[in-house]
Amino acid sequence: MSFKEKGLLVVLSGPSGVGKGTVCKALRARGTHLQYSISVTTRKPREGEKDGIHYFFRDREQFQQMIREDKLLEWAEYVGNFYGTPVDYVRETINAGQDVILEIEVQGALQIKRRFPEATFIFLAPPTLGELKKRIIGRGTETADLIESRMSVAKSEMELMENYNYVVENDQVEKACDRIESIVLAEHCRVDHIIEKYKDSEGAD
């Protein structure tokens, strides 16, 4: 019997500074079987960042046009810049049977929850709020004022944890990667995913 299995949409989110970027980079380095969506942003490229590799860098007018043309699965304004996920890539990759991971902030994750509830939502959590603060300070990208406002945003973002299917503590990067890999494996065996797979295969021998 042959059947076509759709890929999963995995949404990895959590407060700024928790380590989303670091964990995604480590998953890539491991060669974990996931496809990484490239977001569109209006923020300026940082040194070493390339268009079409790290982000699609666009101006505000181009971004607004993508919203009008319904080309974004979700989008959010974050610290004065816009970020969004191109919908075509996600749809095509999932339909081709491959799993896609999105590394996005929490507002965007909540939009996906409304539009695409069957996605797998993983909240990356810090071991403690004190540790989160240390990481934000350690990254050195924020001024003292901004650190306090990031922390108050982070506290309210922590309360959104209940909207997710899984919480992964990012105590150690490699352990967090192990947990995410286990979740993806388990999601492929979920009964509703399997039933969908057989429905889609009706008529196949």
Ligand X SMILES: Nc1ncnc2c1ncn2[C@@H]1O[C@H](COP(=O)(O)OP(=O)(O)O)[C@@H](O)[C@H]1O
Residues annotated in a binding site: 14-21
- Binding site, annotated residues for ATP: 14-21
Q: Does 105 bind ligand GDP (CB under 6 A)?
A: yes
- For tokens 């999105």, name the residue: 102
Q: Does 108 bind ligand X (CB under 6 A)?
A: no
Q: Pick the closer one to ligand GDP by CB: 3 or 21.
A: 21
Name which of ligand X, ligand GDP, none residue 78 binds, using a CB cut-off of 5 to 8 Å depending on partner kind: ligand GDP
Could you tell me the maximum CA-CA distance found in the chain, to the nearest angstrom? 63
Q: Which residue in 64, 65, 199, 80 sits closest to 149, CA to CA?
A: 80
Name which of ligand GDP, ligand X, none residue 170 binds, using a CB cut-off of 5 to 8 Å depending on partner kind: ligand X
How many Cα atoms are found within 13 Å in the side-chain-facing hemisphere of 144? 0
Q: Binding ligand GDP by CB under 6 A: which of 36, 78, 89, 116? A: 78
Closest-CB residue for ligand GDP?
A: 108
* Cβ atoms of residues 63 and 42 within 8 Å: yes
Q: Binding ligand GDP by CB under 6 A: which of 6, 25, 43, 188? A: 43
Q: Identity (one letter) of the amino acid at 170?
A: N
The piece of 44-52, 66-74, 112-120, 131-139 that touches ligand X (CB under 6 A) is 131-139
Q: Pick the closer one to ligand X by CB: 173 or 201.
A: 173
153-172: which residues touch ligand X (CB under 6 A)?
170, 172
Q: Pick the closer one to ligand X by CB: 23 or 73.
A: 23
Torsion of CA 62, 64, 69, 72, to 10 degrees: 90
* Cβ atoms of residues 39 and 76 within 8 Å: no
DSSP for 103-156, please give it: E--HHHHHHHHHH-TTSEEEEEE-S-HHHHHHHHHHHT-S-HHHHHHHHHHHHH
- Residue 72: how many other CB atoms lie within 10 Å: 22
1-40: which residues touch ligand X (CB under 6 A)?
16-22
Residues that bind ligand X in the complex, under the rule CB under 6 A:
16-22, 135, 138-139, 170, 172-173
